[in-house]
Structure 1
Amino acid sequence: MSTVMPFGAGTTLLADVTAAVRTAGDTLRDRATSHARGVSLDEIVGEIHANDDAVLDVLREPLLRVRRGSRWAEDELAGGALPPGEWWVVDPAEGNINHVHGMADWAVTATLVRDNRPVLTVVNLPLTGDTYTAVADGGARCNGRPLKVSAKTDLGAALIGTGQAKPGESERTFRRIGDSVTAMLGNGLVVRVSVPATLQLIHVAAGRMDAFWQFSDVRSGLVSGALLVSEAGGTVTDLTGEPWNTGSRDFLAAAPGIHGAALKILSTTA
């Protein structure tokens, strides 16, 4: 396998991945409607799968081709550590539930993960035309402009967020979400609860939000944002304060000035 991050061909690989993700984004944009699609659960699930299949048809082969020897993480809702080596962790419709309900908060993401750490990512928002990119040790950007996390140092002034990673989480996870939101409502300025995770994490990377936490290890919703936030100068850990990787069971990404305070509050709900 070729040597990677930092890697001399990084700009070429990033350009190739960006082109593939933008093409996939065009496919997802063409499927968008201004109204909700599906009434029954079966109909909604069918629409979600149709979106995934349409995007993967144009995204999978180009990504595997531009990184020879890489493998594909099949289940976008899976969590936990991956085997050693390079893996593409892709969400063909991040925020798929929003897409099928006629809302605007969705994206296409592709992240190259090496030995359970993200090393290159592209997030395309087809409705706005914005593309967020990051390479390990190479910074984070939106449309080529550098990103920088918030300079806030007071949790009481912070806009912070969380969300549900997937349907059917355990009762314990739902209880932790509720308890943590309650705790943060009493300590932050405003708490935002929404999906998908990536759409909140790009705001953290850009300094528009100050922190995001999640009680889940669904890797496809976290790897892009984790790399974007860390490369924009943020701090990304689990809720014990250890550096986050795809094997971590929970997640916190924050501006450095409020990370410690947020971690202290969230650790009481763990």
Structure 2
Amino acid sequence: MSTAMPFAAGTTLLSDVTAAVRAAGAVLRDRHTPHARGVSTDGIVGEIHANDDAVLEVLREPLLRSRPGSRWAEDELAGGALPPGEWWVVDPAEGNINHVHGMDDWAVTATLVRDNRPVLTVVHLPLTGATYTAVAGGGAHLDGRPLKASAKTDLAAALTGTGQARPGEDERTFRRIGDSVTAMLVNGLVVRVSVPATLQLVHVAAGCTDAFWQFSDVRSGLVAGALLVSEAGGTVTDLTGAPWNAGSRDFLAAAPGLHAAALEVLAPIA
């Protein structure tokens, strides 16, 4: 569990947020098809926006109402620090590109961020019904069962992962991703390169995989997983080893016994 100061939200807020995210997940589930939708780039983008709009219509107001005074981070692909205070960082269709291509790995996420640190999160996978939750200082859970990060200490035995954060990243970021995958293939066991980030990070929190890194700072893909991993006993930093927050430019979440070794491999590439 994280040693961060507990977030005194009580169980009511978590219950309210969970209910809102599950209701939004039902909307997204009903929009899912077993085949790809959209052939051109414009068609795919249109389907993605339609998913977002449908989910936000049922998710935004319940979340804002659940935490009076909180604000809404409008751009789900934005990065960088938020102004002081409490913000909802939401991805109405985390893994939207997978959803519109008829695949199964997508979710709805909602995270309350206070002064650039996530303090409460809910990640719901509508097709399986699985719900991951975490509250700062209160642990991480899957459907009420505690999560615990991997106990591995040998990077050579590690299953790790990374991926791009948004379409059209700059060429330098793509080259860093490629270099980092090569470096981790040399030093680790297996590297998964996939999107979305959150669905890799829930596996790090659950101890099923051992580390995840990302060179982009898109906050909606990182805040939920960062809290889940840290509350499950993992270590979350940037690629200099400093504690991560929403203003950090890169990201590493790892099992505590592997974090230093993963950082040694990745820091020269950052």
- Using structure 1 for the length normalisation, give the TM-score: 0.98
- Answering whether residue 42 of structure 2 is matched by residue 42 of structure 1, we say yes
SS in structure 2 at match of 1:256: coil
Report the Cα offset of residue 5 of structure 1: 4.5
Report the Cα offset of residue 268 of structure 1: 1.5
Measure the CA separation in 2 of the matches of 1:119 and 1:218.
18
Aligned counterpart, 2:252? 252
Aligned counterpart, 2:83? 83
Measure the CA separation in 1 of the matches of 2:106 and 2:261.
30
Report the Cα offset of residue 205 of structure 1: 0.1
Aligned counterpart, 2:179? 179
Measure the CA separation in 2 of the matches of 1:157 and 1:249.
28
- Answering whether residue 16 of structure 2 is matched by residue 16 of structure 1, we say yes
Measure the CA separation in 1 of the matches of 2:175 and 2:27.
37
- Answering whether residue 170 of structure 2 is matched by residue 165 of structure 1, we say no
Aligned counterpart, 1:153? 153
- Answering whether residue 102 of structure 2 is matched by residue 102 of structure 1, we say yes
Structure 2 counterparts to residues 106-255 of structure 1, below 5 A:
106-255=106-255
SS in structure 1 at match of 2:161: strand
Q: How many residues align?
A: 266
Aligned counterpart, 1:6? 7
Amino acid at match of 2:263: L
SS in structure 1 at match of 2:187: coil
Amino acid at match of 1:210: D
1:82-101 Cα shifts (integer Å, max 9, x gaps): 00000000000000000000
Measure the CA separation in 1 of the matches of 2:6 and 2:14.
12
Aligned counterpart, 1:33? 33
Measure the CA separation in 2 of the matches of 1:33 and 1:76.
23
Report the Cα offset of residue 10 of structure 1: 1.9
1:66-108 Cα shifts (integer Å, max 9, x gaps): 1000000000000000000000000000000000000000000
Amino acid at match of 2:116: N
Measure the CA separation in 2 of the matches of 1:148 and 1:6.
20
Measure the CA separation in 2 of the matches of 1:64 and 1:81.
20
Deviation >2 Å, runs of 4+: none
Measure the CA separation in 2 of the matches of 1:163 and 1:18.
27
1:14-61 Cα shifts (integer Å, max 9, x gaps): 000000000000000000000000000000000000000000000000
Measure the CA separation in 1 of the matches of 2:171 and 2:100.
26
RMSD: 0.8
Q: What percent identity do the matched residue pairs reach?
A: 85
1:88-147 Cα shifts (integer Å, max 9, x gaps): 000000000000000000000000000000000000000000000000000000000000
- Using structure 2 for the length normalisation, give the TM-score: 0.98
Amino acid at match of 2:127: L
Amino acid at match of 2:250: D
Measure the CA separation in 1 of the matches of 2:235 and 2:108.
24
Q: Which runs of 5+ in 2 are unaligned?
A: none
Report the Cα offset of residue 219 of structure 1: 0.0
Measure the CA separation in 2 of the matches of 1:46 and 1:201.
27
Amino acid at match of 1:198: T
Amino acid at match of 2:139: G
SS in structure 2 at match of 1:98: helix
Amino acid at match of 1:123: V
Amino acid at match of 1:241: G
